[in-house]
Chains A and B, each alone.
Chain A
Amino acid sequence: MLFFSKRPTIKSLMSVKPFVVFSLLALSFQAFAKSGEVAAGEAQRWVTNMTQGVTATSHEIYDLHMLIFMICVWIGVVVFGIMFYSMIMHRKSAGAVPSKFHESTLVELAWTIIPALILVAMAVPATSTLIKIYDTSDADIDIKVVGYQWKWQYEYLGEEVSFFSNLTTPQDEIYGRAPKGEHYLLEVDEPVVIPINKKVRFLITANDVLHAWWVPALAVKRDAIPGYINDVWTIVDEPGIYRGQCAELCGKSHGFMPIVVHAMEEVDYQQWLVAKKVEAEELKLAMSQNFSMDELYARGEKVYQTNCVACHGPTGAGGVGPTLIGSSITTGPMNGHLSLMINGVQGSAMQAFGEQLNNIDLAAVITYKRNAWGNNMGDMLQPVDVLNHKRSL
């Protein structure tokens, strides 16, 4: 289980061998780390190599990676072999008498040309793989992926389905106040759902700073850049849940914006899509309804724990962001509070939530903040109020 998670085949065994050699160091220290109080499943621990993934591309990249790695290993064996041979045989203490030779054009030519030929041999498969990866034509499904500080938004183009995907690992697990779950830091509230055996194209961009959308099992990694739309594609072979992370430093919570892809059979995907659309319709209807204080408060607490907690802290006492307890915003005029939530604060980490949260969530979270932690303002906001406010802008 140390070097591969799949059943070993002849091929994978052969290719895995050098890793065994290079892992001796790691092995010898395994005993040390046994003391680590980590609850990870044994099967996943001590992974030393790239995943083979679940797409034709990821397999091809894995093979390419192993090919180049093997060539490097054999070059290393020869070069270091000669080096260690002379270090052992040509020691002064063993009475070695130094030769005087110090030049040979022929030898220099040989070790210029031979490596160049090896490089050509590497470049051929690399080029062919790259050309395939770059062919984003004829996609069955287009999903726009937008990076935000610090979450991902997925929009199914032409389907009217769009949602944000937030980290769900509780702060208590991060700060060691609760045991860490199996998918610590790699779990989200809404995974992006795709069907298997379909060409899915991701159109990747960002709203604020650079991010990078990366799922190792799909071998897809592309930078999310404001003002650019990058396109990548994948065809997933097996249903499953595939996890990845943001791969471009994007500020404070760069380590806390995972990506979860849920690949399922086409029928299941269609069902999910329908459910999503129904949900959107229901949400639209709910927008015009009035909610009770308790309903808003309960919903607001959830929204807060997902969207606000990273900066303002679990108890509203602040952190990177200012405290919300008795602040001039949360205990000030409702309109000011609402405007701030909708527009954010330019040049700070406070984002414009007007586009990120729906009107119900905005109303709920504002109501929650004004009444939680002893703020006790007693007032509340309805989604309709948010709508009217947005219209008046």
Chain B
Amino acid sequence: MGDHGPAKGFGRWLFTTNHKDIGSMYLWFSFAMFLMGGVFALVIRAELFQPGLQLVEPEFFNQMTTMHGLVMVFGAVMPAFVGLANWLIPMMVGAPDMALPRMNNWSFWILPFAFALLTSTLFMEGGGPNFGWTFYAPLSTTYAPPSVTYFIFAVHIMGASSIMGSINIIATILNMRAPGMTLMKMPLFVWTWLITAYLLIAVMPVLAGCVTMMLMDIHFGTSFFSAAGGGDPVLFQHVFWFFGHPEVYIMILPAFGIVSAIIPTFARKPLFGYASMVYATASIAFLSFIVWAHHMFTVGMPIAGELFFMYATMLIAVPTGVKVFNWITTMFRGSMSFETPMLFSIAFVILFTIGGFSGLMLAIAPADFQYHDTYFVVAHFHYVLVPGAIFSIFAGVYYWLPKWCGNMYDERLGKAHFWLSFVGLNVTFFPMHFVGLAGMPRRIPDYALQFADFNQIASMGAFLFGFSQVFFLFIVIKTIRGGKQATDEVWENPEGLEWTIPSPAPYHTFTTPPAVK
């Protein structure tokens, strides 16, 4: 088996069933989407650099906000985590590959088609989707551009990809663990992905149902979301957010897993409260299903509904707090060093917590009447998603890249990338809290004069952050092409089976299962 290497040429990638190849393809694909979504964001920030309409018209601006959201959520963050899962889960549980390798190939290869379909709408008559990534009906049905049908099919394909990926991950984790690796011995990244996969299987069909109802409304004369035909526009929001809220945790739970792997390594101290981390993750996953309507505090729900969703949402602070406290206690009285993965992880803990604070503020329904649909919300979810999801992915890539390609990245460049991103991110998103509180609604292409100064700052930060990611691409390519040879352990006494195999990881690993004590 050992001499059974990869096939030659493009066929290797097209037909591969190897979890490492597929993981790499997921990661490269998600990075391409990250850059594309970033360009969309920079169009937005360039237009908002000063009041007035300078660069783009409002209808194109709306397409940019919509596509930025869709591409970042479905194209950048989710595939990146699936890529990490592909690379790492078999190596972490001591399995030779994913449980369902052919489906693995398929679940990746439909993604480029989904996004080709989605981005092609920008060149269609009437333009691409312009109704926000939350695509509220009836703006996305009766009043949508004709390209909305392509959008619907693209979402269906993304959903199918996610569901297949999740089935694969669950099957791998439950069936292919090395002997001796009980569930409560699994690394937290495996745990968080197991729970994430269940969330995905639970909510992706809901999203599919949602867009199918839209399709019926648009083309087949139904009135699910049209009040004039006896339907209900608010129903759309309930269905969407029943998917949408678990979705935001889908984008953060694997991040918890990554950070929980990195912090103990660089604190040189075991993770504090492993069991409570598992329980906290499961609690967050459960709560994610009963808080969806906090996105809808202003639709005019009965007060009982408002109160229920407010209390349930506030409760999320408890397990999330437990996780943060555990990470900090892991660091406490450790022996810390601050390599690039650790820097990104520490920034994760701090900035994600700030995003958590603004989340708690948003949970307070009466106060939300002032925050709702303002830049305060934009600041909040960018603080949880950029330093949350994106930083954890950066941290993970720096942490495991030496294992993947056998070379150490350049620590100086890595740190430079971190500081540029850190400064860029805060300069971009922190002022958004201010303009939001001062009353600037989100999703507007032009704004009143009192918001001008902070918007200008945010735009400058956005360009800094954006160009820093091109620098990241340079660092990764440089590392793959050469650099100091990485040891098998890479770091000082890291925990986990992936560090017991050579660097770079051979094409096939754990063809005979390792023994776990």
Contact = CB atoms under 8 A, between A and B. Distances in A.
A90 interface: yes
Contacts of B426: 25
B268 interface: yes
A45 B450 contact: yes
A208 interface: yes
Interface residues of B, number: 100
B213 interface: no
Nearest to A186: B448
Interface stretch (A226-234, A274-282, A337-345): A226-234
Contact of B333 (A61, A90, A247): A90
A33 B353 contact: no
Interface in A180-207: 180, 182-186
Contact of B58 (A33, A75, A253): A253
A255 B336 contact: no
Interface stretch (A105-113, A265-273, A358-366): A105-113
B341 interface: no
Interface residues of A, number: 111
Nearest to B349: A83
A39 B453 CA distance: 11
B364 interface: yes
Given A97-B335, A223-B300, A68 B270 contact: no
B452 A36 contact: yes
A225 B300 contact: yes
A119 interface: yes
Contact of B373 (A75, A90, A248): A248
A111 B441 contact: no
A126 B366 contact: yes
A46 interface: yes
Interface string B475-507: 000000000000000000000000000000000
B373 to A, nearest CB: 4
B248 interface: no
A93 B427 contact: no
Contacts of A7: none
B122 interface: no
Interface in A76-105: 76, 79-80, 82-83, 86-87, 90-93, 96-104
A130 B369 CA distance: 10
A122 interface: yes
Contacts of B112: none
Nearest to A25: B430
A38 B273 contact: no
B320 to A, nearest CB: 9
A38 B50 contact: yes
A210 B452 contact: no
A68 B372 contact: no
Interface of B: 50-54, 57-59, 62, 130-132, 136, 138-139, 142-143, 226-228, 232-234, 267-276, 298-300, 303, 306-307, 310-311, 314-315, 317-318, 321-322, 324-325, 328-337, 346, 349-350, 353-354, 357, 360-361, 364-367, 369-370, 372-374, 426-427, 430-431, 433-434, 437-439, 441, 443-450, 452-454, 456-457, 460
6 contacts: A38-B452, A115-B321, A130-B310, A174-B53, A249-B136, A319-B57
Interface of A: 22-23, 25-26, 29-30, 32-33, 36-40, 44-51, 60-61, 64-65, 68-69, 72, 75-76, 79-80, 82-83, 86-87, 90-93, 96-104, 107-108, 111-112, 115-116, 119, 122-123, 126-127, 129-131, 133-134, 149, 173-176, 180, 182-186, 208-210, 212, 214, 216, 219-223, 225-228, 230-231, 243-256, 319-320, 347, 349
Given A25-B427, A247-B373, A255-B445, 19 more contacts: A32-B456, A48-B438, A82-B332, A90-B267, A90-B336, A91-B337, A119-B318, A126-B310, A174-B52, A184-B51, A209-B142, A221-B298, A230-B299, A247-B441, A251-B62, A252-B62, A319-B57, A320-B59, A347-B143
